[in-house]
Structure formats: C-alpha cells, structure tokens
Amino acid sequence: MGLRQEVSELKSLMEIDPKAVEASLKGFVRESMENLKREGIIIGLSGGIDSCLATCLCSMAVGTEKVLALIMPEKDSEARHIRDALNFAEKNNIETRLIDITPYLKKLGSYKLSPLRIVPFPIPNKNEGTLARMWFRYFEKKTGETFFSASILGFKDKFFGEYLRKGNAYYRIKHRIRMLLLYYYAELENRLVVGAANKTEYMIGLFVKHGCDDSADIMPLLKLYKTQVRELAGFIDIPVEIRNKPPSPDMGAGITDEEGIGVPYETLDLILLALEKGWDIRDIAAILEIEEKMVTYVKGLTLKSEHMRKTFVPDFDCNMHDYDYDKRFD
C-alpha cells in the first residue's frame, strides 16, 4: 500500500456521519438528564467551538428553556471571546449569566503568579500575547521541551521549576473556579453539569484536572477528535466565525491551543488516531510526511497525561484475614 493510499485510509477513519452523531448525542443528553433526575442543564460557555457546539446540542436535546450558560471571564480574557459567547447565546435564545471571576482570583492573589511577571529575561513593552509567545519560545530553547509538555507532570529537580509551579497555579485556578460556580448553580437549581472537552484535548492532557472541562456530570464531545468537532459544528451550523477562530484555553491573553501544543490540530488528530490504531511511530511519520520526533512527542503527551485521566488507588487485597490487629499496638 502506497503512502498516499495510507494517508487516505487514515483520513477516512477520521470521518463521521454527522447526522447520526448529532442524533446519538442528543439522545445521550436527554437520557442523562432523565437518569440523573435533573430538571435542566448548565454549561460554561466560553465562545469557543467546543462549548458552543455542546450548548447547541443540549438546547436541541431538551429545549432551550432548560439550558443555562455561565459566561465566566476574568481580566485576562479576550473581549472577542466574551462577545462571541454573548452573541451566540442571544441568537439561540439561551439564558446566560455573566460572572466576572476576577475578584475571586484577586482575593487568592493568583495574578501575582503570572509567568509574565516573573520571566527570567528582560521584556520589551509588548502586549501579553506577544510576551507569552516569547516566553514559550525562550523556555523551549532553554529546556528542549514545550512549556505545555513540561507542565503536565510535577517539577521535582526540573529546570525552571519555580516558574512552572507558579504558572500552573496561576492558569489552572481559573478553570477550577469556573467548575465551582457551575456546580454551585447546578445544585441550587437541580441542573446537569455538561463539560465540553473533546477527545484530542483529553488524550494529550490539554485540560485542567478538576476544572470546568474535566469535572462534569456528562461529556458529550469526549469521543470526538477536534477535527470531528469541527465537522459536526459545520453540520449543525455553528457560526463560521466561531468555527474558524483559533481555539484558546481562555487562561491567558493571546494564547492559543496550537501555540501551546506546538502541533496543528489536523496533524495532531491523525497522529492520535494512528497511535490509537496501534500503528508504528516510524510508519506514522512516513505516512504523514512529518518528523518522527513529532510523533514521539505526541505519544509522550498521552503517556505523561495518563494521571490526569485517572485516580490512583492502593494495589493491595482489602480482605486481609491473616492480619494480626494486636500488632498495631506493639
């Protein structure tokens, strides 16, 4: 089989039947709300493609009147995302509550931990997006790995460990406060909390553990790669300006997903799918005409982020019949 044919085969495996997927996901939402005895749905609406698609599916599944979207910006959020979220909700007649989480973050003192406040090199008078990109490039040059990859595990004996620790605390608290607010209103109003994470983000660890896209009652998009999310969003007619907007985690001004990851989503998804199918790293690189180190990097992300997708428990037999309890007091 030639490389061209193998690429075609891989891309065909990525294709979905959007009509069938839409029907299945709407049924999943309705069934989940019924089984969990909820009277409505609540979701965090960021203005990005994932949250807009998930919100739209929920609205079609149970009725617009049963869906509440929380829009939770903070001082580093881009105005464009807030505007997109509000416009999307208004056009779809979805109830929203706009909650500025800046006061909570100031109370915690988290803004003082911004990596851009403590970068270890002189910085010109640039906007925060430019500074973030400069910091990412500087970090990668000095360490040989992306800031994102370095942030997935702990930082024992790691170069720039102090900056990484503070950076994680600064960025991740934003999503965790959003999660708390979602569950606060969900429990007050007996609503089902819906998360908007997709398979790509979940497999490489591009989410905040116990954040608003991790801690949820249901995850309708979790079996869809990012490119499949885009296909379904196009089918459902999510506005083109939202579909074409560079995805962002909304944790810092000017930072996009692909700048943080270092791999375009179209390539990333094909690598992940090929790895899922058990293809060899060398073969994947040859088929996609990319360097092996890129495939190795992506596989490394999936392995390093495993701890984010599970909770570790002790490995022992709880039925310890031969345990001598009297020895506890020796």
Establish if 300 belongs to a structural domain.
yes
pTM: 0.89
Q: Report yes or no: 146 and 160 within 8 Å, Cβ to Cβ.
A: no
Question: Any idea what the CATH number is for the domain that residue 24 is in?
Answer: 3.40.50.620
Establish if 210 belongs to a structural domain.
yes
Establish if 139 belongs to a structural domain.
yes
pLDDT at res. 314 = 85
**Burial environment of residue 218 by CB neighbours within 10 A (0 to 12, 13 to 18, 19 or more):** buried
pLDDT at res. 126 = 55
High-pLDDT (> 90) share of the chain, %: 67
Establish if 327 belongs to a structural domain.
no
Establish if 144 belongs to a structural domain.
yes
Residue ranges in the chain modelled with pLDDT below 70: 1-4, 115-130, 250-254, 318-330
Q: In what order do the strands lie in the sheet with 95-98?
A: 95-98, 67-71, 40-44, 191-194
pLDDT at res. 161 = 86
pLDDT at res. 157 = 85
Establish if 323 belongs to a structural domain.
no
pLDDT at res. 329 = 45
Angstrom distance (rounded) from CA 20 to CA 171: 37
Span 251-263, pLDDT tens digits: 565 677 888 898 9
Domain extent at residue 198 = 3-305
Single out the residue of 108, 48, 94, 90 nearest to residue 73, CA to CA. Answer: 48
Give residues with Cβ within 8 angstroms of 222, minimum separation 6.
195, 197, 198, 199, 202
Establish if 199 belongs to a structural domain.
yes
**Structural domain total, the chain:** 1
